[in-house]
Amino acid sequence: MLQSLKGRDFLSLKDFTKEEILALINLAIELKSCHKQGIRKDILAGKTLAMIFQKSSTRTRVSFEAGMFQLGGQGLFLNTQDLQMGRGEPIADTARVLSRYVDGILIRTYEQKEVEELAYYSQVPVINGLTDLYHPTQALADMLTIYEHKGKLEGIILAYIGDGNNMVHSLMIGGAKLGMEVRVATPIGYEPKKEVIEMAKTFAEESGGKIILSNSPQDVAQGADVLYTDVWASMGQEKEAEIRKNKFQGFQINDKILKLASEGAIVMHCLPAHRGEEITHEVMEGPQSVVFDEAENRLHAHKAILAALL
Ligand code: CP
Ligand code: NVA
């Protein structure tokens, strides 16, 4: 199964089968266990990953860079401000040049079509480290976290409360592929994109999963195994932050919402979190929160992606 991933791009979970996603999760579990036992796997000795960042990052940047090192390779952090790309060199040229030097390219940027263009011109695998549309590496790490805490993925009820953004798009697609029930509650006007909803519904039909859209946080939280949220204003939406603060009142994971979820439900957030907005300090620091396991799993999931693709 992993052989089918060699040389592929990682732009969205929509491009991967259920079996391929599960194979990546299994590889992440294996690499995590080796890491915990201090066993070093130099799978990527001599290989380099170019890491282009047009937006800020703590987790994605550090976990990919550390992950490359732990696999015997090297990550090369490239801020777009310092690249000629920042002065207008076309993506198509950047892709062809970098492909001559490195074995893979990670990119975090605004538009999904920039990542697709980079992948089109690149001779080496391209990994989407977040766009306005998707955040697939996070969603893969999240599936690993859910599997570890709940022992399964199929049939799991994940309730996402908040903005219909890149994060929920990737969770809907990943969850639908894996046979989960993904319920999404957003304020009116902040729903996920229609085409992503349609796509996820098609995947859910194939897997036996379910996609449910709502404007009621209470309805989606009822009996859920996982409560998930993300910031109300994503990177690039800073100017809308104040308006969104009003519109999103009530779309918060707090003690009251948590009580509606199933007993032993876990609380997830991709981070960074804004305590007092989408999640309360109490829930974030409470016993049901797995947010730091989730953050840790970025490292293990990313190592699996790198080992499989590069
Ligand atoms: N969750 C996530 O992608 O975090 P960073 O923005 O810190 O990379
Ligand atoms: N939706 C958030 C995720 C950050 C990891 C953003 O795009 O800013």
2-134+298-309 matches 138-295 in fold: yes
For residue 2, what pLDDT is reported? Answer: 84
170 CA from centroid of ligand 2 (Å): 12
For residue 41, what pLDDT is reported? Answer: 87
The number of the ligand nearest the C-alpha atom of 136 reads 1
- Topology of domain 2-134+298-309, CATH: Rossmann fold (3.40.50)
What's this model's pTM, rounded to 2 decimal places? 0.98
For residue 167, what pLDDT is reported? Answer: 99
pLDDT tens track for 3-18? 889 999 999 999 999 9
192 CA from centroid of ligand 2 (Å): 14
The number of the ligand nearest the C-alpha atom of 232 reads 2
For residue 181, what pLDDT is reported? Answer: 99
Residues 161 and 183: their CA atoms lie apart, in Å, by 8
Active-site residue, selected from the candidate residues 149, 269, 298, 302: 298
CA distances from 18 to 14, 102, 126, 149, 277 (A): 10, 29, 20, 20, 34
The number of the ligand 2 atom at minimal distance from the alpha carbon of 130 is 7
Q: Which residues of the chain have pLDDT under 50?
A: none
122 CA from centroid of ligand 1 (Å): 24
Q: Give CA torsion, residues 200, 275, 224, 241, to 10 deg.
A: -30
Q: 166 CB less than 6 Å from ligand 2? A: yes
Q: Could you state, in order of their start, the residue ranges of all structural domains in the chain? A: 2-134+298-309, 138-295
CATH of 138-295, one of 3.60.70.12, 3.40.50.1370, 3.20.20.150, 3.40.50.10790: 3.40.50.1370
For residue 252, what pLDDT is reported? Answer: 98
For residue 53, what pLDDT is reported? Answer: 98
The pair phi, psi for residue 171, each rounded to 5°, is -65, -40
